Amino acid sequence: MYKTIRKYGCLIALAGMLGSCAEKPVKEPVARVGERYLYRSDLLGILPSGYSKEDSIIITDDYISRWVKQELMIQKANENLTASQKDVSKELDEYRNSLIIYRYKNELIKQRMDTVVTQEQIENYYENNKNNFNLDHCIVKAVFVKIPTELANPSLLREMAKDDSKEGQDELRDYCTQYAKSYQISLDSWIDFQVLNRNLPEHVDDPEAFVRLNREKEMNDSNYYYLVSIHDYMLANDLAPIEFVENNIKNLILNQRKIKFLKQLEDNVYTEAERQNKFSIYDDSDEQ
């Protein structure tokens, strides 16, 4: 079976490379399960352009193998389920209806819903919901540099990392671009301390104690010199600065707007149908 798959994998890979798109696909089977066949022409659309012959063979082999396994499971299910268990027409109708409604709503959202969120709206939301924006982790404004030990100039780096002016940051960034293995310069924006922690040679288990006690921290391993310079920090349970949660607030506003829009849409559709007498609701108690 595997040799057969490999054989047809090669054929389809070669067919794709020769680019015989203008030819009518040949109904040549590459696999069979019961009375079901997978044809070579069915495989022509699965290979993206630019793949090597070897990669094309792997992709094709995998597709054929998955097709066989799926068809075998379908066959086994058909053999063992009752007719009523195999009747999925109701589920298919429900899924189709849900999908059509979903697409219709999304199309109306794209066409009609206001997606502009102003800075004033963000600030108003922040002021009115401050209790929802307490930090659950430590955030910092900081400089992090990881540089090969043989290239490191600790005194120069310490001096450069202290300079929070735009010119100083640009100078440090230029230096790091040339010599550093990795670096992070976040003095104008807040970042999660874990962004730095992931890059340190020793994991910091207590970030809050670390930022309280270390405005500047130097570390080393066998190959690199590390410098962390903390310019500002905020701790868990502190009120998050608005710039740190701005994107979250924007998404919250848009989500609330979307809920309201969809509710109004459903109400409008119902009201219009009611006015045009498009539906009736029967009271069962009238028949009793």
Q: What is the pLDDT of residues 116-129, one digit of tens each?
A: 999 999 999 999 99
Pick the CATH number of 135-234 from 3.10.50, 3.30.1120, 2.20.130, 3.50.40: 3.10.50
pLDDT confidence of 16, banded at 50, 70, 90? very low
**E strand spans, 28-181:** 29-33, 36-39, 139-148
Q: What is the DSSP string of 22-37?
A: TSPPP--EEEEETTEE
Among candidate residues 134, 136, 137, the one with its CA nearest the CA of residue 197: 137
Question: Residue 26 has what pLDDT?
Answer: 53
Q: Strand runs (DSSP E) across 108-160, as ranges? A: 139-148
Average pLDDT for residues 231-244, to the nearest whole number?
96
Query: What whole-number distance in Å separates Cα of residue 173 and Cα of residue 157?
Result: 11
How many of the other CB atoms lie within 10 Å of CB of 148?
Answer: 12
Tokens (6 digits) for 49: 């352009």
Residue pLDDT, tens place only, 194-229: 999 999 999 999 999 999 999 999 999 999 999 999
Q: How many CA atoms lie within 13 A of 24 on its CB side?
A: 1
pTM, to two decimals = 0.71
Q: How much is the average pLDDT of 44-60?
A: 81
Q: Which residue has the tokens 């780096």?
A: 157
pLDDT at residue 184 above 70?
yes
Query: What pLDDT digit, counting tens, does each position of 77-116 carry?
Result: 999 999 999 999 999 999 999 999 999 999 999 999 999 9
Is the pLDDT assigned to residue 14 strictly greater than 70? Answer: no
Average pLDDT in the chain = 89
pLDDT at 259: 97
Question: Residue 74 corresponds to which amino acid?
Answer: I
| Strand ranges (E), the chain | 29-33, 36-39, 139-148, 182-192, 216-220, 224-234
Q: State the sign of the Cα–Cα–Cα–Cα dihedral 239, 245, 249, 252.
A: negative
**pLDDT at residue 17, as a whole number:** 44
C-alpha to C-alpha distance for 55 and 34, rounded to whole angstroms: 29
What is residue 43's predicted lDDT score, i.e. its pLDDT?
A: 86
Which bin fits 192, alpha (ψ -120 to 50), beta or left (φ > 0)?
Answer: beta
> Is residue 55 over pLDDT 70?
yes
In this prediction, residue 286 carries a pLDDT of 56
Share of the chain above pLDDT 90, in %: 79
Q: What is the DSSP letter of 55?
A: H
Instruction: Kindly list the domain boundaries of the chain, sorted by start residue.
Output: 2-82, 93-132+243-267, 135-234
Amino acid at 167: E
38: nearest Cα among 14, 55, 63, 2: 63
